[in-house]
Amino acid sequence: MNETEFLERLDRIRDIPTLPSIVLELNRLLQDPDTPVARVSQIIERDQAIALKILKLVNSAFYGVRSKVADIRSAVIMLGFNAVRNAIVSVSVIETFSRRLRLEGFDATDFWKHSLAVAVTAKALSARTRLNSPDNCFVGGLLHDVGKVILAQYYPELFAAVWSASREEGSAFHEAERGRTPAGHAAIGAHLAARWQLPRGLVEAIRSHHDYRAELENAEFCLMIHVANLLVNSYDRNPDCVIDLAALHPDARKFILGTLQRAGDFYAELAEEIENAYAFFLSPGAAR
Ligand SMILES: [Fe+2]
Ligand SMILES: [Fe+2]
């Protein structure tokens, strides 16, 4: 089976998670910048559960908005359409996937912790460089590895084979995927994001997070997701965050040298925000 056949077969799995229909509706409305705020807030308010979560999120320590946001309309005015859509994608995506999923080598909580750490790091990189909107980067980081959940949930044998091979070879998960699965987690995640009708730039960033190329259409955005993942992974290996620069794509090397004095210090400063993100998104009942 080749990658295309594998992804087509994935499309036929009926219970593959979908995002709430609100996300699709907002995607459509967002394409027209003249959409009135009232229309957007009406749509969100129709789904009380989501409306509540959005208010909880924007009022959480994690968002850092000082004055209390009392209603959806104010949230939309304060944050803008795009940020609100991103907030909805963030809260729904973690909920959509089973947090209880447990396989050897896959623990859903650890998985989302990694994803949230990459999300916060990507957001901070974009705030520092102003190369893209911080909340686009947050969602990109949050979703970059989502293909792994699909692999673990729907193809547990494939997942287990890749995981044990990566352990035995001491290689990264995406390296161990080669030759063992028809489509890697990056391709699977991109396929899913496209199916959810998320923006094309986001789909490409997911697809290229282990395979950054300068000729990508939205290379700067993809680079930030790629580098954020590198930083989190190297921090997990050692807290000084020592990165083997020679092994990186020249753009990633240039980006890191130009943006960060010391990667370890940069990452350490994010610790509190990462903890806030865990508390908001992962503590039982937090985002619900
Ligand atoms: Fe990955
Ligand atoms: Fe990752």
How many whole angstroms separate alpha carbon 230 and alpha carbon 249?
12
DSSP characters over 191-212: HHHHHTT--HHHHHHHHTTTS-
Query: Are residues 47 and 116 both part of a single domain?
Result: no
The domain boundary, picked from 72, 96, 120, lies at: 96
Asked whether residue 100 carries a pLDDT value surpassing 70, the answer given is: no
Does residue 90 form part of some domain?
yes
Q: Which single residue is written with the structure tokens 């896959």?
A: 106
Query: Are residues 165 and 217 both part of a single domain?
Result: yes
Note the pLDDT tens digit of each residue in 108-142: 889 999 999 999 999 999 998 988 888 899 999 99
Note the pLDDT tens digit of each residue in 145-168: 999 999 998 999 999 999 999 999
Looking at the CA of 151, name the nearest ligand. Answer: 1
In which domain, by residue range, is 38 found?
Answer: 18-96
Looking at the CA of 185, name the nearest ligand. Answer: 1
Q: Which single residue is written with the structure tokens 């193809």?
A: 155
Does residue 30 form part of some domain?
yes
Q: What is the mean pLDDT of the chain?
A: 88
Does residue 11 form part of some domain?
no
> 15 C-alpha to center of ligand 1: Å?
23
CB 193 within 8 A of CB 86: no
The domain boundary, picked from 96, 119, 138, lies at: 96
The domain boundary, picked from 65, 96, 127, lies at: 96
The CATH number assigned to the domain holding 120 equals 1.10.3210.10
> 48 C-alpha to center of ligand 2: Å?
32
Looking at the CA of 111, name the nearest ligand. Answer: 2
Which pLDDT belongs to residue 288? 45
Residue 99 DSSP one-character state: S
Query: Are residues 103 and 72 both part of a single domain?
Result: no
Asked whether residue 286 carries a pLDDT value surpassing 80, the answer given is: no
Query: Are residues 278 and 147 both part of a single domain?
Result: yes
DSSP characters over 229-253: HHHHHHHHH-TT----GGGS-HHHH
> 55 C-alpha to center of ligand 2: Å?
28
Does residue 10 form part of some domain?
no
Three-state DSSP class for 103? Answer: strand
Does residue 12 form part of some domain?
no
Does residue 193 form part of some domain?
yes
In the chain, the number of structural domains is: 2
Query: Are residues 198 and 161 both part of a single domain?
Result: yes
Does residue 102 form part of some domain?
yes
Q: What is the pTM of this model?
A: 0.91
Partners of 106 in the beta sheet? 103
CB 124 within 8 A of CB 268: no
Which of 21-30, 92-101, 223-232 shows the lowest per-residue confidence on average (mean pLDDT)? 92-101
What residues contact 231, with CB distance under 8 A and at least 6 apart? 121, 241, 243, 263, 266, 267
pLDDT band, residue 107 (cuts 50/70/90): confident
> 89 C-alpha to center of ligand 2: Å?
18
> 280 C-alpha to center of ligand 2: Å?
20
How many whole angstroms separate alpha carbon 184 and alpha carbon 11?
16
